[in-house]
Amino acid sequence: MSVFKQLDELSVFVEAKMKKNNIFTTERMFCDVYCFEPGQRQDAHAHADSDKVYVVLEGTPKISVGDDEHEVAEGGAVLAPAGEPHGVSNEAKTRARVLVFMAPKP
């Protein structure tokens, strides 16, 4: 496994649905880049024993955690603590890329 990666080269978009592109996976965590075309979403869901961090690399997706939902600009970060429902939607007219970390890995 290479410990050095170029995120732009690993960011693949598809028309059918939001695309998860794995960057790193270990026994303890994973790191992905989620790519959203306009109108795509990741429905709200929860992980009982894992925390998730979203970092917006491109675009302005809406990210929800619990009852809160905010449009998050590039460079913004959001924590979804274990057990809290969370999701992402791209309602903008441009693409969105979100770096995602989860630990421990489910």
The span from the CA of 99 to the CA of 88, in Å, is 12
Please name each of the domains of the chain with its CATH number: 7-103 (2.60.120.10)
Rounded mean pLDDT, 83-92: 98
pLDDT digits (tens, 9 = 90+) for 7-20: 999 999 999 999 99
C-alpha closest to that of 45 among 66, 70, 72: 66
pLDDT for position 12? 97
- Please write the tens of the pLDDT for every residue from 4-53: 999 999 999 999 999 999 999 999 999 999 999 999 999 999 999 999 99
Entry pTM: 0.95
Question: Strand order in 86-89's β-sheet?
Answer: 41-45, 86-89, 62-65, 68-71
Whether pLDDT at 106 is above 90: no
